[in-house]
Structure 1
Amino acid sequence: MKRVVILASGGGTLAQAIFDARSTTLADVDIVAVISDQKDAHVISRAEAVQIESFVVPMMADRTQWDRELETLLGALKPDLVVSAGFMRLLSAKTVERFKIINSHPSLLPLFPGAHAVRDALQAGATQSGTTIHWVDAGLDTGEIIAQEKLDISSAETEESLHERIKILERGLIVATIASILAAQEKKNG
């Protein structure tokens, strides 16, 4: 069984999609833990509701110490894949070199990287947006693109409505991408 760790900072809707897929697409995946940087993140209660262990590694004044604590915890959990699902922190170069980490981002990268991708797409007058799953590197949404899914932006779109439509795409694409990556790892190793 492949070991997956989820990193998340907020409500956990992406994480919930991954949890739910364990009965279908991700049936042979063991989600060993959820790690958050926010002690009050709703993703923690979602994880607890489905008996997945959760850890909180709050940001520290000394960023190097935080990086080290996160890397140590990931090392102890021995993941085959780490999934950043709404984790709003950059990871250290050492961490991204040591672990296979993917991220889901609410834009068609390389367009609109960063925390305000949906707002930025609307302000730029984009006619399409979507979601990107990419490998995490030490940059801000600069890792190699694995998969993308597009949608058209309507003229009446608000930031909230567009973000909700993108989240629907993200949920399906992240689950499919996790399954694909783990199947490829299995094939390569065995």
Structure 2
Amino acid sequence: MKKLAILVSGRGSNFEAIARQIRAGKLQAEIAAVVANVPSAKALETAETLGLPAISLPSKGIDTDTYAAMVVEQLAPLGIDLIILAGFMRRVGTPLLEAYRDRILNIHPSLLPSFPGLHVQQQALDYGVKFSGCTVHFVDAGLDTGPIVAQAVVPVLDGDTADTLAARILVEEHKIFSEAIALILSGAYRVEGRRVIRKD
């Protein structure tokens, strides 16, 4: 069984969705560790409730690469196949990128390359776009710049606020993240430049 490590900073709703897919037999994987960089993250409590290994590894006051090395040290004995960033609100440092090259996935609540970074739904509303959505992508050294694995489109309604748009996008995040994880774990893809292409 392929092993996942899930990195979180907050409530971990995408982590919960992935765990549900695994329990339902729809995603063939095992969550070997849930690592939170914020000790108060609700996802830690959820992991413990689900009987999953929960690791609190605070990052406050620690530089990016030093923290990344700490994460690598925690994960090294576990035989992790794929790292999942599920609301992990830190840049991924070089030691982690090197140790798990092309084996880290993130989900971002916009149709990349539009609106990287933070406050994404407000960016979309301010810009006046008619469609937004979410993107699963490989993590590289840039900010939300890695090759795109999957996307889902969500219409922007005239009465939307940042919160209502975020809530509708989150529904799609919960769907496509597990699908993207399954594809990458299957190995039935290739990367050509920035394109992730399914193999027949």
Per the normalisation by structure 2, the TM-score is 0.88
SS in structure 1 of the partner of residue 187 of structure 2? helix
Partner of 1:176: 179
Alignment of 1:39-54 (within 5 A): 39-54=39-54
Tell me the alpha carbon deviations over residues 81-119 of structure 1, each in whole angstroms, 9 at most, x when there is no partner: 000011001011231132110000000000000121111
Partner of 2:138: 135
Q: Any unmatched runs of 5+ in structure 1?
A: 186-190
Partner of 2:193: none
In the TM superposition, structure 1's runs of 4+ consecutive aligned residues that sit over 2 Å from their partners are none
Partners of 2:162 and 2:62 lie apart in 1 by 34
Partners of 1:156 and 1:103 lie apart in 2 by 29
Structure number with the bigger relative contact order (C-alpha 8 A, sep ≥ 6) is 1
Q: Any unmatched runs of 5+ in structure 2?
A: 189-200
Partners of 1:43 and 1:115 lie apart in 2 by 20
Tell me the alpha carbon deviations over residues 126-176 of structure 1, each in whole angstroms, 9 at most, x when there is no partner: 111000000001111111111111011011001110000000000000011
Partner of 1:165: 168
Write the letter of the residue equivalent to 2:11. G
The answer to whether the Cα contact below 8 Å between 1:25 and 1:176 also exists between their aligned partners in 2 is no
Distance change in 2, residues 1:158/1:60 (3 Å) = closer
Alignment of 1:1-190 (within 5 A): 1-22=1-22, 23-26=24-27, 28-63=28-63, 64-99=65-100, 100-184=103-187
Q: Which moved more, 1:52-61 or 1:144-153?
A: 52-61
- What is the RMSD of the two structures over their aligned residues, measured on CA atoms? 1.2
How many aligned residue pairs are there?
A: 184
Per the normalisation by structure 1, the TM-score is 0.93
Partners of 1:21 and 1:113 lie apart in 2 by 27
The structure richer in helix per residue is: 1
